[in-house]
Amino acid sequence: MGAGFAVQGRVNDVIRGAVEHPGQTAMPPPALALRVISLDDSAERRALVRANLETCALPWAFLDGSRPGDASDLTDDAAGQRARFGRELTPGEVGCFRSHMRALDAFDADPELAWLLVMEDDVWLDPAFPYGELAGWLEARGIGFLRLFAREWRRAWPRYRFGERQILYLATDPFGAQGYLISRAAAEGFRSRVRRVVRPIDDEFGRFWENSLDNHLLFPFPMVERHGASTLNEARSGAALEPATPGLRRKLARARDFLAKRAYLAWRLSPLARDRIRPVKR
């Protein structure tokens, strides 16, 4: 994707911002690019992605997914997985983890890049949505990570509005890493804390009480999952048939997480918090 594509994308986002928010001065959105995680031999999925993104103004590219045996700086910690997750991860889960971490390397490859939109190849993305404007809006409010899709969540507070959509703050991990916006600073903070693979990447993203990623979600979503079988979920189902390791280390880790998450949320909801979560009404 050429530089002209990127410039035109920013111009389009500014125009959309001026139309949707009349009376406000449209600020140039930060530099934003899209990376699509996909195995290099997934011809059918890649064809669907190309058709989907044909009219998307963002500069985008495929990122070849990681396979078992590929070189990585991340340690595949089987003992840590049993202790913290209850079982060893499947090769597909480890590959998915490494793929998302490799996607964040785009910031190292492009010093001008301020934000990254990461999506997996089994979703459909709304190509007309103003992602550049949204990234600038998030940056102005100190939010560095926003999920664009989730399969489920149990509890959430509506914190902001972006046009006719809500920015929810989730009290639980919604699981899934199908698509998200992430800033350079948030990516650097997250990568600095992750050196080993001890749980799936969506679980790692969901540990908002200890990593640099806040637990915000855009709703309604600007992306949807395509219907079809998931090879990763099929492998997970087979692995889940094995009994979880009930060791003392795992029980203690789960108890610590339970208490730490609730203490973090209690603080963020309190009037003393600098970045207090304040639920808003429509």
| pLDDT tens-digit map of 125-150 | 999 999 999 999 999 999 999 999 99
The pLDDT of residue 189 is 95
Residue 265's pLDDT is what?
95
Best CA proximity match to 134, nearest among 172, 175, 183: 183
Amino acid 122: pLDDT: 96
pLDDT at 2: 44
Task: State residue 236's pLDDT score.
Answer: 54
Q: Any idea which residue has 């509890």 for tokens? A: 155
- At 26 the pLDDT is 58
CATH (residue range 3-269): 3.90.550
User: What is d(CA 38, CA 90) in angstroms, rounded to the nearest whole number?
Assistant: 18
Look up the pTM and report it: 0.84
For every residue of 48-71, DSSP letters joined together read HHHHHTTT--S-EEEEEPP-TT--
User: Which strands form 216-219's sheet, in the order they lie side by side?
Assistant: 60-64, 32-38, 115-120, 179-183, 145-147, 216-219, 165-170, 156-162
**Secondary structure of residue 260 in the 3-state scheme:** helix
For 228: left if phi > 0, alpha if psi spans -120 to 50, otherwise beta; the answer is left
**What are the structural domain ranges in the chain?**
3-269
Digitized pLDDT (tens) for each residue of the chain, 282 residues in all: 444 434 334 434 433 443 344 334 456 788 999 999 999 999 999 999 999 999 999 999 999 999 988 888 899 999 999 888 989 999 999 999 999 999 999 999 999 999 999 999 999 999 999 999 999 999 999 999 999 999 888 899 999 999 999 999 999 988 889 999 999 999 999 999 999 999 999 999 999 999 989 899 999 999 999 986 555 555 555 555 455 555 788 888 889 999 999 999 999 999 999 889 998 876
